[in-house]
Amino acid sequence: MIELPFSATESALTQGWVIGLATWVQEDVPTISAALLAAGGGIHPATAFIACFLGIWLGDMALYLVARWLGRPLLATRIGRRLASAAAVGRSEAWFAERGLWLLVVSRLIPGTRLPTYLAAGFLRVSFLQFSVVTALTVAVWTTAIFAIAQIAAPLVEGWLTRQPATRWIIPLTVLPTVVVLRWAWKGGIGGWRLRWKRWQQWEFWPAWLFYLPVVARYIQLSIRHRGWTLPTAANPGMTTGGLVGESKFVTLLDLFRTSPEWTAEAWVLPERPVPERMAALRRLIALHSITHPYILKPDVGQRGVGVRLVRTQADADAYLSFTAECLVVQRYAPGPFEAGIFYYRIPGEDRGRIFAITEKIFPEIIGDGTRTVEELIRLDPRACLIADLYLRRFESRRSEVLPAGIRLKLVEAGNHAQGCIFRDGARLQTPALEEAIDRISRGIPSFSSAAMTCATRTRKSFVRAGAS
């Protein structure tokens, strides 16, 4: 008789610990696996069920408690104030108090929503008793349903394996892929997958990081060749880090307005302050400089158009200021009707610069037919349907509005791709007159003067020498 190193109780406890801890990494796969093992006699059903239940429930409670204990202290930091204001948190608390129970129940059924929902519940200090009871009940129902399905399916699977023993290895290899596919299908549905496939067929909707990969590779290559990792920061001496990252929009606009006011939309800075003070400061700016609606609010330091907002009413401005605490730029609105991005450079020591590319920006729009709603028109448009959620969030209050026949609704007001603008090659717009006008404007900016460019040349040489030493 062989003496086992562990007793049956110890073995069950070990199995329970492994299953419970596995649910902290990924809930569904360990739960389904434990249910199948229990149905097949590989583990005691009570051990498997209790381990899954406690693992999932305690994981939910851990998320809640971490957010409850650390959320408010983090909000008091500078980074936290940028992410959420006290006013926004107050509104969220009221909203969660009204719908909290329903959100906690629904999040158990919709993949990808539990983590943000439970963290929000802890951060907003939803009742501990309410959270623990609701999550315990939903976890119990969810786990019971999985174990019940496993009990029904086990005899069918066992019978199939008896007839086809050579295919026994297929089951463990198909559990994880099946769960992943079902989760994705539940989250996006057939229509969602069709839209994802269409987006991948059009390169303009590819993820931003994919476009930056060759840029990073080229950056590394040039840095090694010229022996200076910070060399690109010397390209524009008048900008922080040469305009590579972190430069102030307001400083650049101020230089442009001082030297070429006829070509520059006037702008003012709105520094970081408590929300009530910023609202008051904005009203003073509007009154002092006769700023009319609409006007632009945007982060002073930003990228790819994130955070750019066209403000049509004071309520829009108040909502925007409540959402962010970072330094902002207030700028008069230039309605167009056309917009383009002009890429210009000037080699140090040369008198004239050159335009090497122009991006034409096209603002998509829908046209009413007198019968369809705004949402229907967006979803029927071959391009707008690919980012319909972006547009519909912008026109939330008008989703059900029926546009009269022939009436046009512009879907984008800011000329950046992040907000849905269309970018096209604008080489046809390049002319000697345009190049001369841009060159004249650039020569007027102090940081683009000949002296500054000479300084840039010297800086480049010093970086090369420093890298070689």
The pLDDT tens digits for 411-427 are 887 777 777 788 888 88
Quote the DSSP letter at residue 425: E
User: What single-letter DSSP state applies at residue 307?
Assistant: T
Phi (first) and psi of residue 424, to 5 degrees: -135, 155
Of residues 375 and 179, more confidence is placed in 375
The region of weakest confidence among 48-57, 75-84, 212-221 is: 75-84
Which is the CATH superfamily of the domain at 213-349+431-468?
Answer: ATP-grasp fold, A domain (3.30.1490.20)
* Predicted confidence (pLDDT) at residue 219 exceeds the cutoff of 80: yes
pLDDT at site 109: 67
Token pair for residue 274? 């408590």
For 302-350, the pLDDT digits (tens) are 766 677 888 888 888 888 887 777 788 888 888 777 888 888 888 877 8
Helix and strand counts by DSSP (H, E) for the chain: 16, 9
Q: How far apart are CA 124 and CA 90, in angstroms?
A: 8
Q: What share of the chain is helix, strand, coil (3-state, %, to 5)?
A: 65, 10, 25
Q: Where are the alpha helices (DSSP H) in 26-85?
A: 28-39, 45-75, 78-83
What distance in Å separates the CA atoms of residue 240 and residue 251, rounded to the nearest whole number?
A: 10
pTM beyond cutoff 0.75: no
For residues 423 and 204, the answer to whether their CB atoms sit within 8 Å is yes
Any idea which residue has 């004071």 for tokens?
314
Question: Where, residue-wise, is CATH 3.30.1490.20 in the chain?
Answer: 213-349+431-468
Q: Where are the beta strands (DSSP E) in 266-364?
A: 267-270, 295-299, 309-311, 328-332, 339-345, 354-362
Helix residue ranges per DSSP H, 164-274: 170-201, 208-226, 249-259
